[in-house]
A and B are shown apart, each in its own frame.
Chain A
Amino acid sequence: MVMTQPETADEPQEVAEHAPHRKLVIFAWSGELDRIWPTLILSTTGAAMGMETTVFFTFWGLFPLVRDDVRITGENWMQKLLSTMDRPGLEHLKLGKMNFAGAGPAMMKHLAKEHKVASPSELMALAKDLGVKLVPCQMTMDLLGLSREDLIDGLEDPAGATTALVEAQDAITLFI
């Protein structure tokens, strides 16, 4: 049977050809659905390819990490206002364009379901399972008044810019 043949000798060579980039680092700066979605698609794919994959969530990118059942975050009125204006949580994100007061994201999710494209929540679960390191930015958490308890489970410990840049040194980096 053809399928039981031993592995071909030229295989390691082909692997070596693609060896230079074994790491992927994504800076998730935006909290918009149409940016977080590709971030999750690329990070799950990177991990699936065996790349050591890390996503640093900073500024608006932190709000998608807030648990969906947490409505208001922040300690003072200014921080609270941020979460009042834009509901945090992966299930409540807005589109960067054509949001139409929430109709846009609803239509987008409907289309995704129809075309069997994985939802952001499915991809987040997949990312964790495939070993993507999800790192919240400590400074922005302080700035926006987000506590570790506001955020979903399965994240790495919050870290700073140095950790992010050290990680990024020998990686493909994307700022989304």
Chain B
Amino acid sequence: MSATIAKTLDMKGFNCPLPIAKTAQAIREIEPGELLQVLATDPGSVPDFKAWCRTTGNQLVEHTETDGVYRFVVRRKG
């Protein structure tokens, strides 16, 4: 599964607005259609990622939570 992830951004421990702001930076480094995986622990990042994807047109393909770590997989807008 990890073979399809083009880039991973570890934002564990970091707070607003860094998970989203760094995601905006990181998504520029992958090609349209590729997947960016972001790991975060800020509970506020869950609504923030949904809102960010809705407004930017990037697609939130998956979001899961395991032991307090949120994992977001975002596909860069084509």
Contact = CB atoms under 8 A, between A and B. Distances in A.
Nearest to B15: A117
A116 B15 CA distance: 6
Does more than half of chain A's interface fall in helix, strand or loop, or is it mixed?
helix
Nearest to A15: B57
A7 B34 CA distance: 12
Given A3-B61, A7-B75, A11-B57, A45 B1 contact: no
A8 B59 contact: yes
Given A7-B75, A11-B57, A48 B35 contact: no
Instruction: Give the size category of B's interface with A.
Output: 20 to 34
Contacts of A149: none
Interface string B7-45: 000000111111011011100000000010000000000
A143 interface: no
Among B23, B54, B73, which residue has the most Cβ atoms of chain A within 10 A?
B54
Contact of B14 (A15, A18, A116): A116
B24 A18 contact: no
A118 B21 CA distance: 11
